[in-house]
Structure 1
């Protein structure tokens, strides 16, 4: 990546900020972008870098946000209206962009998502084995204090203190709204602890105890494996990771029919108490001229 884009990407990765890396892999004259041009697309639709003019950028923005919200890597083919369509290829998406002045583009969109963050409470053999296995899967783990709040965007909290700070850790995870909370305890001890906390039905349902899937585990590593399997199941059931901001609204350009992402810089017009958004200023001006005429 160009230095500025690569430096920004590294910074975002360190801060656990999701983004999409967009790279032009093929360009046909007279497109303004060239192979190797790159950009970062943020969760709010903001773009850093260059992958084409306003019309191409709008198509990239909308497709990138779809990729970020569970769509996965995507090869985007942006064609001017009337251009022959590329042969269909698995994993490719074709967008016919009426406002392009000419030239086709192929842009690879790769979502860059931080690995799920799992906080582990306790230093028991099960806790140690869990951290080691989670590292193999590429998950990020953090050791937290029982009475400390989980870090922002924590995907799961595993309470494995074996009686040391378990109640405080469960309360903190519940208050923070952590999506997956697991308590390492026998069924009897787990139930007694939840009674002790005075939890209502909804809060009790959010705590998985005994932690882990029932795979007949006996040793600490086997129990850790069963807990990690349950975490994977929970993480994969959610298409959009918790770090990803809500997807911006979309609208259909009333002139060319393109789907555009609504943002601060999206060309916009209010007419007869209705709001309209456009792929570019050309479509907006044509629509405005029709209203006057």
Structure 2
């Protein structure tokens, strides 16, 4: 593998280890006289920076624009860039963009987003916590088993699930609620769960966000079945957060009232088979906060050529009359700076 490709591969590995999203842009077809060649690759970072080579400034402007769009959507895209007056033709899985700055030729670039797996913080080390870790990995999550005092939830986590059977529950739950983690759940019976939630030093609105008892009403009895019911609820909540609100605001599964399981809690918080079977299906304790979807980046028009470009710091830009003006290339920026009043700036 050539040194440049080795360096990009190492950089991609580094970004993955740091859980930073990026897009791999690969030239799959190039028509003379473009400067890119089939096989050329680059990485588009979340801030819009491009590392590697897939073409000149004009092509990079479109790669940056649609690279950030693929990060927002999570879907790969075939980008075709060709010379001509500004126009874009969108179809399923592909987009064609005409760039008046290109001197000729065209290039096709495949944009593949790489997004870190959603992290699920699992507080505990018992059978249910282990089952959540094993099954969560199969479902494409990144489970992380921690003790309650070591939990450091973040707003971009998918969930925090407390399955520690009475150990350091309040600390972890409070931290998750204050960090605005979208899905927060407590593995406990309804009675004990009510006592734990009542002890939290948070307001009622935050307290009502905790799913307790955790999980959908699947009649779970084993740790593995309990983990399945909890992860099914998590998947349902994430799906509902990204979909239009349902009429009446009723959460799926809420109508299935959960009864206390046959094994009553005897006041002990020691882990064991009795509490492993403790988790019934979910009661509705309040609506979970909606998970914010990734928004497409803001865009602007290059006033010289009319190209659409991302309105971000990584795009070539200048300040004029109290406004930030963005450009697809250094040529357009230079033309603007020579006679800024000649170009009408879109409001």
Corresponding residue number in structure 1 for 2:266: none
Distance (whole Å) between structure 2 residues aligned to residue 186 and residue 163 of structure 1: 11
The aligned residue for residue 254 of structure 1 is 303
Count of paired positions: 289
**CA distance, structure 1, for counterparts of residue 178 and residue 85 of structure 2:** 56
Superposition pairs for residues 1-293 of structure 1, below 5 Å?
A: 2-81=5-84, 90-150=92-152, 152=154, 153-236=156-239, 249-264=298-313, 266-291=315-340
Distance in 2 between residues matched to 1:82 and 1:171, nearest whole Å? 55
Unaligned runs of 5+ in 1: none
Give the Cα separation in 2 of the matches to 1:151 and 1:201. Answer: 20
Structure 1 match to 2:263 = none
Residue 78 of structure 1 aligns to a residue whose secondary structure is: strand
- State TM-score, norm by structure 1: 0.88
Greater mean deviation of Cα atoms: 139-148 or 28-37: 139-148
Q: Which moved more, 1:96-105 or 1:267-276?
A: 267-276
Report if the CA contact (8 A) 2:173-2:184 is conserved. Answer: yes
Say which SS state the counterpart of residue 199 (structure 2) adopts: helix
- 2:258 maps to which residue? none
Per-residue Cα deviation, 1:88-137 (whole angstroms, up to 9, x for no partner) = 75300111111111111110101101111111111232222211111222
Residue 146 (structure 1) shift:
1.0
Instruction: Please tell me the root mean square deviation across aligned C-alpha atoms, in Å.
Output: 2.7
Contact 1:256–1:283 (8 Å) recurs in 2: yes
Q: Which has the larger radius of gyration?
A: 2
**1:282 positional shift:** 2.5
Aligned partners of 1:122, 1:19: CA distance in 2, in Å? 32
- Partners of 2:320 and 2:119 in 1: how far apart? 47
Hey, what's the Cα distance between the residues in 2 that align with 1:269 and 1:165?
53
Counterpart-to-counterpart distance in 1, 2:220 and 2:199? 27
